[in-house]
Copies of this chain bind each other. A is one copy, B any other.
Amino acid sequence: MSTAIRVTIWNEYRHEREMPEVAKIYPMGIHGTIAQALDDQGLTVRTATLDEPQHGLNDEVLANTDVLIWWGHAAHNEVSDEIVTKVQQRVLAGMGLIVLHSGHFSKIFKRLMGTDCDLKWRESNDKERLWVVAPGHPITEGIGDYIELEREEMYGEPFGIPTPDTLVFVSWFTGGEVFRSGACYTRGQGKIFYFRPGHETLPTYHNAEVQKVIANAVRWAAPTATRELIRGNTRSLEK
């Protein structure tokens, strides 16, 4: 594609305004840090947050978004069902969706997965290693055998998701757990990538490799051959 991919980064954006230790790490919000990283990669970026009208996701914004990134945590239930339905429809029509970390429990992710998306978790001093299990996958471009994060929240199995189309990363944690931490899906004409790391009290989104994965995922999830689908009642095709 010659034109730049248009990314909208959605963030709950509450922790950063309410918790000084989070604000210190993400003074522009988690969305601001990711936006800067993607802008540096030549992507066309805008942001949207929960407390904006329509959560910043009105029809015009959605219609002009190729890939939507989603970070939410404490206020999933405050996202309106109407907006969730519109986002779902856009994904089915071809918009890419990248769900980060605690977004596993967002309405939009649960809606698209059809499952409970539950997991084990622990805030502690775990080191995380995200191992590449799909070498050659475009999301892993520029990444070595694994990404190491000195400190992260732990997420553990069983993770209540459908079998991914492609499993890209599996995480190892010091405390003894594993997690399917990078998972690809196609739903309708849209591509979805779930990427585990990114606890709000840790500087994960400043990590260059994490940023690289998100940028790779944006390029992977951007729509290519989407189309209008004509369904419903149809005539017999003449043979």
* A114 interface residue per 8 A CB criterion: yes
Q: Are A136 and B172 in contact (CB under 8 A)?
A: no
**Residues of chain B contacted by A235 (CB below 8 angstroms):** 122
Number of interface residues of A (CB under 8 A): 76
**Residues of chain B contacted by A163 (CB below 8 angstroms):** 165-167, 186
A92 to chain B, nearest CB (A): 6
Q: Which residues of chain A from 201 to 235 have a CB within 8 Å of any chain B CB?
A: 216, 223-227, 229-235
Give the interface of A toward B (CB within 8 A): 88-89, 92, 94, 111-116, 118-122, 124, 126-127, 129, 131-142, 145, 154, 156-160, 162-163, 165-167, 170-178, 180, 185-190, 216, 223-227, 229-239
Q: Are B189 and A135 in contact (CB under 8 A)?
A: yes
Main secondary structure on A side of the interface with B: loop
Q: How far is the CA of A176 from the CA of B129 in the complex (A)?
A: 8
Q: How far is the CA of A224 from the CA of B239 in the complex (A)?
A: 39
8 A-B residue contacts at CB 8 Å? A88-B114, A89-B116, A92-B160, A136-B225, A162-B186, A165-B165, A172-B172, A174-B239
